[in-house]
Amino acid sequence: MAECWVCFRHCRLKEGQVGFCGGRICRDGRVEALNYGRITSLALDPIEKKPLARFYPGSRILSAGSFGCNLRCPFCQNYQISWSEQAEEYARTAETVSPEELADLARETQQKGNIGIAFTYNEPLIGYEFVRDTARLTKARGLKNVMVTNGTAELAVLDELKPYVDAMNIDLKGFTDSYYRNVLGGDRSQVMAFIREAVRTCHVELTTLIIPGENDSEEEMRELSGWVSGLRNPDGEGVPLHISRFFPRFHMQDRGPTEVRTVCRLAEVAREVLEYVYTGNC
């Protein structure tokens, strides 16, 4: 039996048992990444798609994902690799790529406008060892590292990644404990602590997906943006907030897409206190 310390769940795993996230396993009495180097998705994306609006705009970034996630968002856009039967299948079939191979590929695609590697698509923190080992090599090749994350991990995980990660987009999915706990299976306080520490070390942008009837009130956006306004990126600039429109997907098909006017109204509310607010999927 061993305990995983990576996120608030602190799964206690028997030998050979896989954790809640599907990405970690107990082997030889210790918990390690089952998804180390197991790549399920690879694409050269515009940096704005991460989304990052104020980090090398106009560039492209080699984006890599594995499998597994420690949240259970019912509307997941990447459920095939995050949490579903298909994600479990990937644990058996995904190809293994070494940190060196991925870092070399990033350098080879520099001539296509690539600035580095984005660890994205599934939750990278549950496989932080591969992110750390690859990002170290990417940095040594003069390239950048980006992480797109739900921010659900202990600060000790962030400590491992700090020296190598240049920018992050972190989800701040809402601003009530009940939404995080009951709808997403998450822990808002862990995410807020992660964000508070992340802005001290690298460029951070945040994303809030607006779900009708869940986190779409002006009051909640006022509270959320008020908290974000107290944060500063290392260059002294305010932290950008991306407010995104929801579309029915996966296990959340019981409501229509977020009204565009709702997203625009919430962006106006956020702009009362934030310098950089962007709308997405509109």
Structure tokens at 96: 């293994």
224 near ligand SF4, rule: CB under 6 A? no
| Binding range to ligand SF4, per CB under 6 A, among 17-25, 101-109, 166-174, 238-246 | 17-25
Binding residue for ligand SF4, selected from 2, 24, 37, 138, defined by CB under 6 A: 24
Q: Which of 1, 2, 7, 65 binds ligand SF4 (CB under 6 A)?
A: 7
For residue 141, report the phi and psi dihedrals to the nearest 5 degrees: -90, 10
Closer by beta carbon to ligand SF4, 6 or else 199? 6
Q: Is 131 in the site for ligand SF4 (CB under 6 A)?
A: no
Helix axes 218-229, 260-271, angle to 10 degrees: 40
Closest alpha carbon to 1 in 10, 14, 19, 16: 14
Q: Which stretch binds ligand SF4 (CB under 6 A): 15-23, 141-149, 231-239, 257-265?
A: 15-23
Find the distance separating the first CA and the last CA of the chain, reported in whole Å.
48
132-145 exposure pattern, b = at least 16 Cβ within 10 A, e = fewer: bbbbebbbeeebbb
> Per CB under 6 A, which region of 6-14, 33-41, 52-60, 189-197 contacts ligand SF4?
6-14
Side chain identity at 38, as an amino acid letter? R
Instruction: State which of positions 51-110 bind ligand SF4 (CB under 6 A).
Output: 70
Among 2, 21, 135, 269, binds ligand SF4 (CB under 6 A): 21
Closest chain position to ligand SF4 (CB)? 19
What Cα–Cα distance (Å) separates residue 45 from each residue in 132, 150, 277? 21, 19, 22
CB of 177 to ligand SF4, least distance (A): 18
Segment interacting with ligand SF4 (CB under 6 A) among 16-24, 72-80, 129-137, 179-187:
16-24
Is the CB of 138 or the CB of 150 nearer to ligand SF4? 150
Task: Report the distance separating Cα 243 and Cα 259, nearest Å.
Answer: 12
Q: Which position has the token pair 């920018």?
A: 167
Alpha carbons 248 and 254: distance in angstroms, whole number:
7
- The least CB distance from residue 254 to ligand SF4, in Å, is 27
Residues that bind ligand SF4 (CB under 6 A): 4, 6-7, 9-11, 19-21, 24, 70, 126
